[in-house]
Structure 1
Amino acid sequence: MNQEQCYFALDLELNNAQDNSTVNPKIIQVGIALGNYDDYINESLVTHKWLLDPEEPIFEFITELTGIGNQDISNHSIPHEQLALKLGRILATHHCFVNPITWGCGDATELKSEFQTRGIAFPHFGRRWIDVKTWHTLHMLSIGKKPSGGLSSGLASLRLHFKGKPHRADDDALNTLRLFFAILERQSQYYQLISNAKKIH
């Protein structure tokens, strides 16, 4: 494991109806967490968050879930162009691994789609992402348990507690990245154990 490689996790909060019936829900918050393995061990991973204007009223359900209301958008949202510049600069400055770490799929595609719709160039993500939710599903199936639950359950499977508040893009990104590093750490230990066992023979 390259302990100096910087990774970043991405999370979005969307303006979606409670029954998930909204077609192409708009992004209202973008959050990232970044750092390397040593930052994870030292609990010094860095987070950033930004609000985006969906140009439509925020669902009451979403305000209750995320704490983000119409007034927050009015007072603190930034243009998509500004977000693209800020996010791109952060990723380039820290030489982050090209593919974002996510809980589930779609966030990277949705963000790039909103940029593309507005004619904003954003060449900073790879075509793929590293989905730790898929790892959690495989892990639970391998030990004979149902692969249910969210990010908190994924963390709990490795004896980690969720830090911050769920459904805040920066906190969700932080915990997604913590889970990723915990997975890397465990896999590295497994491989070292196998390597040591082979030396005995």
Structure 2
Amino acid sequence: MTATPQPLIDTQRYVALDLEYNQPSGTIIQVGVAIGSAAQIQQEYVVRCWNLKVDEPISEFITQLTGITDEDCQAGVSLAQCAAELGELLNEHAVFVNPVTWGGGDSTDLLEAFARAQVVFPHFGRRWIDVKTWATLLSLARTPTGKVQQGGLSKAMARYKLQFVGKAHRADVDAFNTLRLFFAILARQRTLEACAAQMKGL
């Protein structure tokens, strides 16, 4: 009789990254991260947020969407301070080299912003783990017609019986929920892999 595969205890920590941008400039005005492992409960995740100091007014639309105001950014930190504090967090928690994101480009945008400001940031790989692409792939796999279920992060989480926590379009909140969805999809795939391995042994 084949033994039932035991679930992995994954203590590797990952960092989910999210950015908020001003419009129409596309300037980064907020950086949020959530750090945790699949072995942790969500209350144990490390969540941080930085409002960035920028020399431009925040558009009314962005303030309505995110809650980020001119005052928040006037009192914000420099890119150099954000990079230093973020780097300390990544080193302290020994995170996986590629950040977890909802959609692509956030890590590239942040690295480019650091480079333009001549800020040294020797972190992040050249790639990222795009949870949105994973969710889209699974949606396609579940729908014989090839029709992708529409919706953003909150709707994708609902398909995994996860409730979005907090106010959307805040960088730390979106990063936190992205990390939760990442671990849910990862756990599902590991269960499928364990079942496949068990079936091979029959």
| TM-score w.r.t. length of structure 1 | 0.92
Q: Deviations over 1:100-135 (max 9, x none)?
A: 000000100111111000111111110000000001
Report the counterpart of residue 183 of structure 1 in structure 2: 185
Alpha-carbon shift at residue 157 of structure 1 (Å): 1.4
Structure 1 runs of 4+ with >6 Å offset: none
2:20 is aligned to 13
Cross-structure match for 2:37: 36
Distance (Å, rounded) in 2 between the aligned partners of 1:8 and 1:137:
21
**Aligned-partner Cα distance in 1 for 2:190–2:128:** 20
The yes-or-no answer on 1:71 pairing with 2:71 is yes
- Which residue does the alignment assign to 1:170? 172
Q: For the residues of structure 2 that align with 1:163 and 1:114, how far apart are their CA atoms?
A: 29
Shift of 1:54: 2.6
In the TM superposition, residue 74 of structure 1 has moved relative to its aligned partner by 1.6
Correspondence for 1:140:
139
Partner of 1:19: none
- Structure 1 residue 146, shift from structure 2 partner: 2.2
Superposed displacement of residue 43, structure 1? 3.5
Q: Which 5+ residue runs of structure 2 have no aligned equivalent? A: 1-7
Q: Is the 8 A contact 2:99 2:107 kept in 1?
A: yes
Deviates more, 1:141-150 or 1:189-198: 141-150
Residues 42 and 70 of structure 1: is their aligned pair in 2 closer, same or farther, counting only changes over 3 Å? Answer: closer
Separation (CA, whole Å) in 1 of partners of 2:58 and 2:52: 11
Equivalent residue for 1:194?
196
Distance 1:30 1:148 in 2: 26
Alpha-carbon distance in 1 for matches of 2:149, 2:136: 5
What are the Cα deviations for residues 65-123 of structure 1, in whole angstroms up to 9, with x where unaligned? Answer: 00011011122x00111111000010011100000000000100111111000111111
Once the two structures are TM-superposed, the CA of residue 2 in structure 1 deviates from its matched residue by: 5.7
Task: Summarize the alignment of residues 13-162 of structure 1 with structure 2, pairs less than 5 Å apart.
Answer: 13-16=20-23, 22=24, 25-39=26-40, 41=41, 43-75=43-75, 77-144=76-143, 145-162=147-164
Alignment RMSD: 1.2
Question: Is the 1:136–1:147 contact (alpha carbons within 8 Å) kept by the matching residues of 2?
Answer: no
2:5 alignment partner in structure 1: none
Q: Closer, same or farther in 2 for the Cα pair 1:135/1:42, shift >3 Å?
A: closer
Q: Distance in 2 between matches of 1:141 and 1:42?
A: 28
Match of 1:63, SS state, is helix
User: Displacement, 1:42?
Assistant: 5.4
C-alpha distance in 2, partners of 1:69/1:42? 29
| Aligned positions, number | 192
